[in-house]
Amino acid sequence: MTSTPVPQAPDSEWPEAWIMPDEVEDQKDMNKLNPNVPVTANQMRELGIAFWKMDADSYTYPVKAIPWDPRDATDPKLMQIRDDRGYSYADIITVHPDHLPGYEEKVKSFFEEHIHDAEEIRYILGGSGFFDVRNKEDKWIRVHIRKGDLMTLPEGIYHRFTVDKDDMIHAMRLFIGQPVWTPFNRPCEDHPSRKKFVHMYIDEKKED
């Protein structure tokens, strides 16, 4: 008997998101426009983003584990999402000056705009940070992710990541099969994963 997939979070539980300027002085700032232009959960879903709110307080995870076997999960909700979506690999990292050698350089490198040739999955176990993604008009959406947020970005979406002013995020990365973290920096319009994203989430939306 096939179980019903874990439903995504209701709109009220999705992270705060907004349109941000094209250029910023400090990537760790909130970087909201004036006046602020909020982005709704539905607008994020239309870009292929998925989101679940998790209980990160009731379960303990290592500061760092590369790899971390997702079969070791004891959180029933995480276990079901793992099985629903076929996640067979995980690792756990902490982005903080005490735990990441070359911290400032690494944080700057994470902020390079890129795509991946697979879905990107992040479960935030502690701390907070920003995922920036391009919308259908090629504007930046800034998504403020916090402890307990599990978010997926679709294959081929232009995005980047940074910590916020607290300079700490503890996160689980999940993957289907063998992990491949290779970023393909923009421009990469001819990359098959980018073409797939454009077809699924931009061209089809224009036709609606």
pLDDT at position 170 is: 97
Q: What single letter denotes the amino acid at residue 145?
A: I
Measured between alpha carbons, how far is 170 from 176 in angstroms, rounded to an integer? 21
Mean pLDDT in residue range 136-165: 97
Mean pLDDT in residue range 168-193: 93
The mean pLDDT value of the chain amounts to 94
Q: Write down the residue that tokens 């099985």 correspond to.
A: 83
pLDDT at 35 over 80: yes
pLDDT at position 206 is: 55
* pLDDT tens digits, one per residue of 68-80: 999 999 999 999 9
pLDDT at position 181 is: 79
Q: What angle do CA 196, 197, 200 make, to 5 degrees?
A: 85
